[in-house]
Every structure is written in structure tokens, then in C-alpha cells.
Structure 1
Amino acid sequence: MHRVVVLALEGVYPFELSIPVRIFGTAVGESDEPLYEVITCSLDGGPVTTGADFAVTVEHGIEAFETADTLVIPPFTCDPGEGRNWLPEPLADAFTRLRRGTRIVSICTASYVLAAAGLLDGRQATTHWNEADHFQRMFPKVKVDPDVLFVDDGDVLTAAGVAAGIDLCMHILRRDHGSEVANRVARLCVVPPWREGGQAQFIRRPVPEPSATTTSSTRAWALEQLHRPLSLAELAGHARMSVRTFSRRFRDEVGMTPGQWLTRQRVEHARRLLETTDLPVDRVADEAGFGTATSLRQHLVATTGVSPTTYRHTFRADDHAPVSTPC
């Protein structure tokens, strides 16, 4: 059984600490057998204070690192300052206990730990948008992307703030065992199996003036029209706005342009069709509004890193072979 080890550091945030056991601990196979064993450890095996008004007791010490197939580090209260050498020696030593090939995951600002340990040098990674500039100054060798919910760089994965830890764990589950298992866990945990968009939609921006007119009804209408071309003028016309007004309000509400949003919806629709139907790739491309299989392939590779055929083989319920999918 795949063992997930969660490291609880002093000042750990309880919500993020609970994410791995909630997601991975819910995952079962066809015969209801657990797919993961999730254990929590601390550096000394003793109780750990949290970022709330209570402590948690764990049953494992740092020796658990030696048995980890996946290591997850939730965020904790800390002040890394501006120096790379802030990483405590016991924590730095702990990474030497990991077996070769262990998958390492950080949630939110726990990315500071991975970066300080040198695990993110030359890699793409993310962290909470509010810390992205500081993080980049502190670790210039890391390729920081502040606009995504998570980054999958193969054996090292990083999530942005708080709930993005759920998104990343759902992604890992989907990568390990396919969409059927991930969707079942999502239903049981009442979370989306895949959340569109990135951190940009959560970054504070001026709140638009209150208005009875929004773009929500046009977005709902557009989702029913994905099989055909949709121009910006047609979208604005449906919303009974000028193109300029519609574009501005759409970006204020959604955090991206209408064209970017529409492409995301087409990709997501194509993914669902690849996962749940046996339609030929050409037909999937047509149903999703891409027109040609070549166009579908270009957009899917840009989003997931794999071709439509590889995606279907990976995420169909009858094929659980894992594949690395850069975000």
C-alpha cells in the first residue's frame, strides 16, 4: 500500500494538516480496499502546537520519513526572513532519511521548506500569491509561478494557499488511480474533482461597482454552445453589453479574459469526453469546439502536458497508469 507521510511542524495549520488524510484516506479500490496508508509524524514524535488554540498528538517520529512513498508538508507559522539558511538543522537532516524516488509535496507556504532544502532549484513551483514576490527574492533559482493553484513537476509538487492543497491532493489521486476513483472521493468529500482557474482569481482587486447586470447568464449559455465557434461580439451581444463593457466586467468577475475562459471550458469539456466516452478524438475535438484533432491536441498538451490519446489511456477507469502532468 502506498504510504503517505504528513509532517506536522510546530505551528502547523490544522486545516491543511487534515487535507491529506481526508483525501487519500477516503480513496478505496474496486473491492473497497484502502489505496493509501496515511500517517502523521513530527520531528521528535511528540505533541505539536498548532496555529490554533490547541495542540495535536502524533504517534510517529522522523523515522517515518524512511518509509514514505509520498511526503506532504503542510504550512506552519514561521518567519523565514531573507536568509536561505533559516531551515532548522533537524528538519534539514530529516530530508536525508527519504528514500530515492519519494514524491514530495508542499501545501501553501510550506514551499519555503522545500526551497530552503534545495529541492526546488531549477524547478517550477508555486506558493501563496501574497508571498510570491518575497519567495522569489529569497530563492532566485526557483521558477515561481504565482498564478496557478498547483504545480506538478514530477516527483516534487507544490500547492498555493489553503484549499489549493485539496486541489493538489485530488490531482495526485487522479494521477495515481484515474478519474473514477478521484471523482468518487470528490463526491464523498463534497469537493470539485478539478477546479478551473488559478490564483489570479483570488488576488485582491478593486471591487466592481454593484450592478444588476453580470456575465453569469452568458457564461451559462456559452457552456451550452461549446460545440460551435463563439466570438467576443456574440458573447457581448447575448449579455446585451458593448464588447468593451462585457470584457471589463467578465475579467472583474472571472479573473481572466472571455477568450481564456472559453478555451478552458473547451479543454475541460474535451477532458470529460475523453474520460467518459469512446468517441474518436476527431469527434471529441468537434464536440468541444476545437474543430480539428490538431487544435485539440495543442490545447490539451498546453494544459496537461499529454496528448488526447495518452490522456484517455491515463484517466479512463480501466487504465490507471500514472503520468506526470505539468500544471
Structure 2
Amino acid sequence: MLSRHAETLFWIGRYVERSSYITRMMDVAYNKQLERSARSSDEVWWDLLRVLYLEDDYRAEYGDDVTTASINRYLVFDTENSSSVKSSVTQARTNMMNVRDIVPLELLEAMNRLHAQLGAGGLEGFVEQTPHQIYETVAGQCRAITGAVDEAMPRDDGYRFLMIGRLLERAEMTCRMVDVNRTVSGRDVSSWMTVLRSVSGFHAFTREHGPLAPADEVVEFMLLEPSFPFGVLHCLQRAWQLTQEVIGAGTWQSPRLAGRLTADLQYADIPAVDSPDLEGVLERIENGIRETSEALHHDLYQFGGDPLLYSFEAL
């Protein structure tokens, strides 16, 4: 398998997961600004932009005014914003076209459907009054893509690289989801239940902890629960396992970094939700994910030259 194909598949996984997770975060923020809260609607949206590191870019394009319509246009449809859902989907589709000979037809068709829906313009009519229509459509199409991955891709190195990208992106975005909600909602239990619903974790959490569990337990669940698919520890453990399974990766740096990050989190003490130390924990996890991603890029090209074969496994 070519190194450039491996990295292309890695980024397909990241872009698809990013598109899905941004809409999940927007859904949480939108629900929050509809509730009675100490924070205004504007503050909720600004908090989301800060967590996504897009506050300055938004101000440069839209000024100091933030509305439901403007935030949906910017985060979902604005192609000038490289982190928007539409930009991420376009990048994922472009990457997929570059490796279309080695991905299943079902996966390519699912990607094309999402790309077409975002490009047709119909969804933009929902930006102000019914943005849930946007969030549900994007989330549903992203599930179709990941379903095609699960059902149609052989479990070879191509699958592994795509899944590593998806898992690292999900772990980073879960950290950001925790970050935005601790800032916006503090210890408000109802808000944390909304967050759990957005990542399909409400049933799993309440079955074990009950619906009135404190916010600290929700944060620990989202960070440390190894059986929760959107949990940070679960994602990192699985990504670490996949890096070890890649043929020819015995001397690579990325599996060691992924393993170290996983072990550090597994035995970490998670600060209270209103403690300033929690921000530091989340930041260290995000930095570790970025370092692992950069190490993987280096591992793929460490012998110099593109495209070099890093292994002889055929897709």
C-alpha cells in the first residue's frame, strides 16, 4: 500500500468524523441557547467558536454579531472556513476520489450523497428557523458513510488507517465537547444529559449511574469509560491497537505515542468539572492526539520520497 494512500485514508476518517461531530456540538449549543440559562444565546455561540478555535476567523468575516443563522452558515456551509462541515466533506470526497480504486463502491456512493445534499442548497433554508434539519441530515449521512466502512471495507491496512483517523478525531472532539459544556453549563445536570444524548451515550450512562448523577460523573464517563464508543479512552485504546496492527509498523513512533497517551489517561485523576485543572487535562489530551497524528505522518514518510511502499500488503 502506498504511503500517500494510507495518509489519504487517514484524513478521510478525520474529515468525516469532524463533520459529524461539529454538527453534534452545534446541536448541543443550539438546544442550550433555547433553554433558560445564565448565559445569553450570543455567549453560547461564542463559547462554541472558542472551543473550535474559530473565534477570530468568525469575527474577521462576520464581525461581532452572532446569530443562529450566521453561525450555521459559517460552521456548516461557508467554504471560506476550512473547518466547516461543507469544507470537510468536500476534502473527504476529494481524498476519496483519489483512492476510489481501493475503497468500496458503497462508501463512495454514501460520500457522494452527503456531498450532493450539502451542495444542492436546500439545507441552507433551515439555517435560522429549523437548524435541527441540518444537524439530523448531516449526522444521518455520516452514519451511512461509517456504516459502509463497517460493512464493506476489508480489515486490512486501508481500513486501519481510516479508522485511526476517525478515532483520533473523535477523541479530540469529545474533549472539546466536554470543554464547551463545562464552560457553558458548569454543573447543570440537564445540560450534561443533553450532551450524552448527542453522542448516543444517555442510555449507557443512566443505566449505570442514573439520570440525576452529578456532572463530574458524566465527565469521567466521557473521558474514561473504555466501553463507551465516543469515550476518549475507548477511542485512544482502539487507535493504539490499530497502529500496532499495521504491517511494518514495528519501529514506528506513533504506536508508542498512542500507547503512552492511552496509559496516561487510563490512570489519570479527572478534576471536578468546575476546577480550572480540568482545562489542563483536556488540553494535554488534545496535544497528545496532535503529536500522535504528526508522528504517524512522519512514520509514513520517514524513509523519504512519495510514493514509497511502507508494506507489501495489497488492498
Both structures adopt the same fold (TM-score exceeding 0.5):
no
Q: Bigger radius of gyration, 1 or 2? A: 1
> TM-score, structure 1 length as denominator?
0.27
Q: Which of the two has greater strand per residue?
A: 1
What TM-score comes out, normalization by structure 2 length? 0.28
